Amino acid sequence: MTIELSKQGTPVTGGPGAPTLDIRHLTVSYRRQGTLTRVLDDVSLSIAPGEAYGLVGESGSGKSTLAFSTVQYLAPNAVVEGGEILFHGEDMLTREDAELRAIRGSAIAMVYQDPSSALNPTMKVGDQIAEVYRAHDLCSREQSVDKSVAVLQQVAFSEPKRIYDRYPHQLSGGQQQRVVIAMALAGNPSLLVLDEPTTGLDLSVQAEVLTLVHELHRRNHVAMLFISHDLATVRKLCDRIGVMRYGRLIEEGEAEALFTAPTHPYTRGLIDCLPREGTHKDGVRLRPIDEPGSEQEAGLQRLAVPIDRSGVPVLEVSGVNKAFGSVCAAKDIALTIHRGEILGLVGESGSGKSTLGRMIVGLESPDSGEIRLAGRTLARTVEKRARTDQRSLQMVFQRPDTTLNPRRRVRATLARAISKLRGTLSVEALAAQVRLGPAQLETVPRRLSGGMKQRVAIARAFAGDPEVVVCDEPTSALDPSIQAAILNELADVAAARGTAYLFISHDLDAVRYLADRVAVMYLGEIVEEGPVDEVLSNPRHPYTRKLLAASLSKFSVE
């Protein structure tokens, strides 16, 4: 590793035992409309050569800023108020442009969160890798092509030459991320910085990429800074872990030790708050961090909702088909949900689960088949449905940022929902059901956190006292601790009203907690269905087994 550095002309300081990366008392703020907001507060950490360091934190913790500051890539309005970032003994913050350019991509390389936007759409993928060699003058043009093909093979592509000629949009998300990793490896870096590299990828693809990273780390002995909000992933991958909150590094330690015996209450809260095997909504409340009263409530039990399996099912789907051109989104789907029941629907992207949810509420219309609500056949599109059907069947959406009209105060949003859906509660009473107070009622969505926005969305869906609510990945875009809070909320409201849910998610742990029964979808078909414990502990279909394996490889039971 030190040999590469001297090729770039930077002097090598520090002996063989010195840390690759040594951040000392780093303090960074952003200047926004005149005021300074601190994003990193006196952060110090060091990574030894070949060590994998996991940095965990929720959104707003400053972990991404820390990642980008290692290559001195900060926004124009960032102000470094103090500290140093020593890479092989030299402070990155004082480097000249030319030196930075020499280091970036070769000595320090980055892997990003969203691979589809990280690649140039108009350049061949292989050329983008070859660029690294050419830019750092490591070899000739012909040699760079050969080397690119070689590194593509290293990232587990079986036909590297064909992949070389592809464009980014012709590759899947997992393949794109492997290309980005290949680009990072090309320069033979001594430090690899990965900023949430698997967030947003499908479960099985996540497992694939993480396995690859693990392999590469072991083989190449590169020092790694792995940023994530998922403690479980980091635990498997990294030697040491640091936990960040509000710009401070609040705890640091060996990976296993941190997990089994965390000292800081926040770390403990992060570990405890997520649902895991053995917990179900019918007995246990989750423990979100920082929620007023959650400590006392955690002790309370939630009453199980009686499920009426003998009467008319509240929702029935039969023979539903839908195709988008040549892509099959739904093939002969049949589902039943009884009163008071929560049916989980799991699958990866492209499985058709979202489309099914949208067809049920009427946002899309099936090509054929029937959907019945309490025995009544529903019209294909929501616009054509009767008013009573509209109020009885509602949806909670995935992204909290776009689920509410940004120009309306919460009160107006809820009032409109109540009036249109003939609700009987007052705005205050409805808000109280999801633990929102008068202060939140008077604000605009912009000033609410993701979790609060999602609560408003839940309240809005329940304005007309629906019989069935379709939840389309309602927790996927939230931080882990907020996920716990929202899962609690959904379970509480269901328990209070006896509403049935179709809970769509790719998160098997959340489904295990919330659902009574679960159905697994793959390429438009339901491949397995049954009580949630049975399906998720003893899967029969090979696809379900694959999903479960991918999920477990991230999170192992105590």
Partner 1 sequence: MSVGSSGTPDIVSGVVLIAVFAVALRAFPSTAQTTDPNPLMQVYYLILPSLAVAPTMVGYLARIVRASTREVAESDYVRTAVLKGIPGGWIRSRHIGRNALPPTLAVFSAQFVYLLTGLVAIERLFNYPGIGSVLLKATQSSDVVVLATGTLLAAVLLVGVNLIADVAVLLLNPRLRTVSS
Partner 2 sequence: MTAIIPKKDASLPGIAGPVPRARGRLLLPMLRTRSGVVGAAILAAWVIIALTAPLWTQNPLSTDALATLRAPSAEHWFGTDSLGRDVFARVMTGSSTALIIGPAATALAMAGGIILGGLAGYLGGVADEIIMRVMDFLLAFPALIVAIILLGLFRSDMATLILLLAIFFIPLVARTVRGAVQAVKTQEYVEAARLRGESTPYILLGEILPNISGTLVVETTVRLSSAIVTSASLSFIGLGVQPPTPDWGLTIATEAPYLTIAWWSALFPSLALASLVIGVALLAEGMREGSER
Tell me which residues touch partner 2 (CB under 8 A): 30, 32-33, 37, 39, 59-60, 65, 72-78, 97, 361-363, 382-383, 385, 387, 390, 394-395, 397-399, 401-407, 416-417, 420-421, 446-447, 449, 457, 460
Which residue in the set 167, 199, 284, 444 belongs to the binding site for partner 1 (CB under 8 A)?
167
Going from the C-alpha of 392 to that of each of 178, 361, 362, 371, the distances in angstroms are 45, 10, 12, 14
Shortest separation between residue 416's beta carbon and partner 2, angstroms: 8
Q: With 0-12 CB in 10 A as exposed, 13-18 as middle and 19+ as buried, what is 383?
A: exposed
**Nearer CB in complex with partner 2: 33/296:** 33
Of partner 1, partner 2, none, which one sits near residue 103, judging by CB under 5 to 8 A according to partner kind?
partner 1
Q: Is 170 in the site for partner 1 (CB under 8 A)?
A: yes
Q: Is 122 in the site for partner 1 (CB under 8 A)?
A: yes
Q: Is 328 in the site for partner 1 (CB under 8 A)?
A: no
Q: Is 32 in the site for partner 1 (CB under 8 A)?
A: no
Of partner 1, partner 2, none, which one sits near residue 76, judging by CB under 5 to 8 A according to partner kind?
partner 2
**Nearer CB in complex with partner 1: 104/506:** 104
Shortest separation between residue 511's beta carbon and partner 2, angstroms: 21
**Nearer CB in complex with partner 1: 119/145:** 119
Stretch that binds partner 1, among 150-158, 180-188, 442-450, 545-553 (CB under 8 A): 180-188
Tallying the residues shown for the chain, one arrives at 558
Q: What's the rounded Cα separation, in Å, for the pair 86 and 84?
A: 6
**Nearer CB in complex with partner 2: 201/458:** 458
- Which of 197, 181, 46, 5 is CA-nearest to residue 112? 197
Q: Are 49 and 103 in contact (CB under 8 A)?
A: no
- Which of 202, 213, 183 is CA-nearest to residue 119? 183
**Nearer CB in complex with partner 2: 486/508:** 486
Q: Is 120 in the site for partner 1 (CB under 8 A)?
A: yes
**Nearer CB in complex with partner 1: 186/241:** 186
- Per CB under 8 A, contacts with partner 1 among 79-118 are 101-106, 109-110, 112, 114, 117-118
Amino acid at 153: Q
Name the pairing type of β-strands 223-228 and 52-57. Answer: parallel
Shortest separation between residue 113's beta carbon and partner 1, angstroms: 9
Half-sphere exposure of 363 (CA within 13 A, CB side): 13
Residue 208 in tokens: 């694939």
Q: What's the rounded Cα separation, in Å, for the pair 22 and 477?
A: 33
**Nearer CB in complex with partner 1: 35/122:** 122
Of partner 2, partner 1, none, which one sits near residue 552, judging by CB under 5 to 8 A according to partner kind?
none
Strand, helix or coil for residue 423: coil
Which residue in the set 52, 55, 86, 180 belongs to the binding site for partner 1 (CB under 8 A)?
180
**Nearer CB in complex with partner 2: 212/374:** 374
Of partner 1, partner 2, none, which one sits near residue 170, judging by CB under 5 to 8 A according to partner kind?
partner 1
Distance of CA 293 to the CA centre of its chain: 27
Give the DSSP per-residue string, 191-241: EEEEESTTTTS-HHHHHHHHHHHHHHHHHH--EEEEEES-HHHHHHH-SEE
- Per CB under 8 A, contacts with partner 1 among 480-519 are none
- Which of 422, 414, 365 is CA-nearest to residue 389? 422
**Nearer CB in complex with partner 2: 51/58:** 58
Q: Is 131 in the site for partner 1 (CB under 8 A)?
A: yes
- Name every residue whose Cβ is closer than 8 Å to that of residue 390 and which is 6 or more positions away in sequence: 382, 421, 464
Going from the C-alpha of 433 to that of each of 285, 311, 428, the distances in angstroms are 16, 28, 9
Residues that bind partner 1 (CB under 8 A): 71, 73, 101-106, 109-110, 112, 114, 117-123, 131-132, 135-136, 167, 169-170, 180, 183, 187
